[in-house]
Structure 1
Amino acid sequence: MRDSKKILDAWDAYSDEHTDLDGWPYDDHAYGIRASQRDADTAEAFEPLRYGARRLLATAEIQLAQLPENTVQGRWIYQLGVLRDALDRLDELHEQWLKTRDGLPATAASGTPDFDDALAEHHAESWSYLDDWATHGKTLGEVNTAARKARSPLAPAPARSPARRAMARK
């Protein structure tokens, strides 16, 4: 997720420098190429997380439900929902990509226009959902940190020193 954030920050800097005040690119072609690279880089950065993302979400949701109410940030529920919805959409888009890829001509391989154009379109469709993960993914760590700091109701009470035990009996 850190890599995705770096990619987004670099894109924002590029976009600020290469667009006018209304947000229109000075060079549509160059801007499009750079956006396509951003999309591909963001997809690549997400790949290591993709297969464990559902488990991370489920863990965060369980942790959140068990946290004391006074330790919960109100935005966490919303952000976990955004991540879940984005992951659902990414899974749908991935299935569409597999069907598209399988439907390409046998000569279409990485580096050919047929393949590369289809993959670029897939990345473009996926980018906003990947951006959701880059933007809200830190919530998973925040919930985990809060859960680790929260006192478990199953944890034993701290041991008392002999002097404190004696005072408690009096």
Structure 2
Amino acid sequence: MRDSKKILDAWDAYSDEHTDLDGWPHDDHAYGMRASQRDADTAEAFEPLRYGARHLLATAETQLAQLPENTVQGRWVYQLGVLDTALDRLDELHEQWLATRDALPATAKAGTADFDDALAEHHAESWSYLDDWATHGKAVREINTDARKARSPLAPIPAPAPARRTAARK
């Protein structure tokens, strides 16, 4: 998620420098190529997280439900919902990519126009959902941090120290 944030920050800096005040690129082709690279880099950064993302979300939801109400950030429920929806869509797009890749001619390998164009289109379709993870993924970390700090409902409550006896004076 941190790499995705760095990629997004670099993109924002590039976009600010290479567009006019209305947001139109100075060079459509160069801008499009840079956007395509952003999409590919973001997809690559998310790949190690993708297979464990469902588990991370489920853990965060469980932790959130057990946190004391006064420690819960109101945005966390919304952010987990955004992440869940984005992950559903990313799973669908991944399945579509696999079908597209399998339907390509046998000569279409990485580095050929057919393959690279189809992959670039897949990355472009996935980017906004990957951006959701880059933007809202910090909620998973925040929830986990608060859950680790919170007293576990299963932790034993320490017994009170025995009262001290004072010797009676005679």
TM-score range, shorter chain: over 0.9
String of CA shifts for 1:55-94, please: whole Å, max 9, x gaps.
Answer: 0000000010111111100000000000000000000000
- What's the counterpart of residue 143 of structure 2? 143
C-alpha displacement of 1:137: 0.5
- What's the counterpart of residue 113 of structure 2? 113
Q: Tell me, which stretches of 5 or more residues in structure 1 are unaligned?
A: none
Name the aligned partner's letter for residue 112 of structure 1: T
2:162 match: secondary structure: helix
> Please, what TM-score do these two structures have when normalized by structure 1?
0.94
User: What fraction of aligned residue pairs are identical, expressed as a percent?
Assistant: 86
C-alpha displacement of 1:165: 1.6
2:155 match: secondary structure: coil
> Please, what TM-score do these two structures have when normalized by structure 2?
0.94
Q: Tell me, which stretches of 5 or more residues in structure 2 are unaligned?
A: 166-170
Say whether 1:46 aligns with 2:43: no
C-alpha distance in 1 between matches for 2:154 and 2:7: 42
C-alpha distance in 1 between matches for 2:164 and 2:93: 66
Bigger helix fraction: 1
RMSD of the alignment, in Å? Answer: 1.2
String of CA shifts for 1:3-23, please: whole Å, max 9, x gaps.
Answer: 000000000000000000000
State the 4+ residue runs in structure 1 displaced beyond 6 angstroms. Answer: none
- What's the counterpart of residue 30 of structure 2? 30
- What's the counterpart of residue 166 of structure 1? 163
Larger radius of gyration: 2
C-alpha distance in 1 between matches for 2:61 and 2:13: 34
- What's the counterpart of residue 13 of structure 2? 13
Aligned residue pair count? 165
Name the aligned partner's letter for residue 46 of structure 1: F
C-alpha distance in 2 between matches for 1:167 and 1:129: 62
Name the aligned partner's letter for residue 21 of structure 1: L
